[in-house]
Amino acid sequence: MPTNELQHRVVIVGGGFGGLYAAKSLKRAPVAVSVIDRRNFHLFQPLLYQVATGALSPGEIASPLRVVLRNNRNTEVLLGEVTDLDVENRRVILRDGEAPYDDLIIATGATHFYFGHDEQWAPLAPGLKTVEDATEIRSRLLVAFERAEREHDAAKRRAWLNFVIVGGGPTGVELAGALGEIANDTLRHDFRHIDPREAHIVLVEGEPRVLPSFPPDLSAKAEQQLIALGVQARTAARVTAIDPDGVTVKTGDREERIATHTVLWAAGVRASRMGKVLAERAGAQLDKAGRVIVEPDLSVKGHPEIFVIGDLASFNHQGERQLPGVAPVAMQEGRYVANLIRDRVEGKAAPAAFHYFNKGNLATIGRNKAVAEFGKLHIAGFLAWFTWVFVHLMYLVEFDNRVLVLTEWVHNYITRNRGARLITGGKP
């Protein structure tokens, strides 16, 4: 159904949680919606670490945007790359075309940030944002064990069995925990010359405790659970050097050299390139991380027709501290902006300022291991883990993949196996 030229046109850039929920919430609005993304699928990023650690396949946590938005008859999906904005004429400039808008929603998220060492560190310490990142990390983890199995020199073998994860937030903790399980459970009987349980997994966090966004008691519980999986946390520590043969970690005045070929990056994030474009073209103000500082209604100052949501937005109103870059924030922001636009088109009064309703925070560490915070209720262990599983399946309900993911999880839980352990991509 080609869009009606006379209709109010809403262009959404980015098909992540923010953009997708904005589009879905506009389903019955009298507007023509275009969702533009470089990728043809929505990625369920909270489970991406499970692809990186071989528990799930990429296809199981990704849904084609066209399928997810198939029943939104007022919505078209454009596979394309946005290169610029023409704010005066209200047009989004694509590499191979343009898209005019009346209202624009930018939801292009964030990318890795290596604290100024991007060129040197990025190839040595991949981060986890895309499907390709995940399969690259998966290959590196598996290749490390394979190289150890074939290595006769004890010191070299040791280096292949050392793993360093930089960043002790939820992603770093999830990766470290999953890697601990791989070493202790999954691969236990797979090799003939090494014992995978000899793997050393080091988690480096700059703050004095892991999961610094959680309450201290849950950080302590998480650290205990990590220790049970053979993960050593280095807190109040920072990485000062990464090279192909190892990592230098500085804790206070003490410098430690860890020989390793496998470093994963779960530390810094920086706003995606659209932040700069908005600054240049719409005069948007950016915070230190390059995020767009938005108005209480998530619009860009001076541009009530341009909204920024999700990880790209810096929202600090009503005394709230910077909202975290997590899916629930992006989803609520997407719904808020969609409702605002619909109300505006229908001539209704402007809504109150955006307010994030925090339903709780969850971080999983491994089998039966997780921490959860619901206001004053703090839980850890099996119950937190089960809640995590339940919540993630619930959110997958919007997609086709929940049966598959559940099948994999039940299978993995029973067999302690991870079937998607493929080394793919480059030459092995």
**Residues at the contact surface with a second copy, assessed by CB under 8 A:** 1-3, 38-41, 56-60, 62-64, 66-67, 70, 76, 78-80, 96-97, 131-132, 142-143, 146, 149-150, 187, 189-193, 400-401, 403-404, 407-408, 411, 415, 417, 419-425, 428
Cβ contact 332:356 at 8 Å = yes
Name the residue among 283, 285, 275, 342 with its Cα closest to residue 309: 275
Which CB sits closer to a second copy, 333 or 408?
408
Handedness of CA 403, 174, 323, 221 (dihedral sign): positive
Full strand arrangement of the beta sheet holding 97-100: 82-86, 91-94, 97-100
Helix (H), strand (E) at residue 82: strand 82-86
Which CB sits closer to a second copy, 115 or 191?
191
- In the complex, least distance from residue 1 CB atom to a second copy, rounded to whole angstroms: 5
Query: DSSP letter string over 102-144?
Result: SEEEE---EEEE-TT-HHHHTTTS-BSSSHHHHHHHHHHHHHH
Question: Which tokens belong to 275?
Answer: 């932040």
Name the residue among 237, 247, 217 with its Cα closest to residue 378: 217
Which CB sits closer to a second copy, 63 or 262?
63
Which CB sits closer to a second copy, 195 or 255?
195
Long-range pairs of 345-349 with CB within 8 A, sequence gap ≥ 24: 345/8, 345/29, 345/30, 345/31, 346/29, 346/30
- In the complex, least distance from residue 242 CB atom to a second copy, rounded to whole angstroms: 25
Whole-angstrom Cα distance, residue 81 to residue 77? 12
Which CB sits closer to a second copy, 232 or 407?
407
Choice among 174, 181, 333, 373 that is catalytic = 174
- In the complex, least distance from residue 63 CB atom to a second copy, rounded to whole angstroms: 7
Helix (H), strand (E) at residue 63: strand 62-64
- In the complex, least distance from residue 83 CB atom to a second copy, rounded to whole angstroms: 14
Q: How far is CA 187 from the centre of its chain?
A: 26
- In the complex, least distance from residue 112 CB atom to a second copy, rounded to whole angstroms: 17
CA angle 190, 192, 197 (to 5 degrees): 65
Whole-angstrom Cα distance, residue 275 to residue 28? 30
Which CB sits closer to a second copy, 66 or 91?
66
Whole-angstrom Cα distance, residue 53 to residue 422? 10
Full strand arrangement of the beta sheet holding 303-308: 75-79, 31-37, 8-13, 103-106, 303-308, 299-300
- In the complex, least distance from residue 400 CB atom to a second copy, rounded to whole angstroms: 5
Which CB sits closer to a second copy, 76 or 398?
76
- In the complex, least distance from residue 135 CB atom to a second copy, rounded to whole angstroms: 8
- In the complex, least distance from residue 246 CB atom to a second copy, rounded to whole angstroms: 21
- In the complex, least distance from residue 146 CB atom to a second copy, rounded to whole angstroms: 4
Cβ contact 225:217 at 8 Å = no
Helix (H), strand (E) at residue 162: strand 162-166
Which CB sits closer to a second copy, 32 or 340?
32
Concerning whether 151 is annotated as a catalytic residue, the answer is no
Cβ contact 294:279 at 8 Å = no
Biggest CA-to-CA distance, the chain: 74
What SS3 state is found at 382?
A: helix
Which CB sits closer to a second copy, 2 or 347?
2
Whole-angstrom Cα distance, residue 249 to residue 251? 7
Catalytic residues: 174
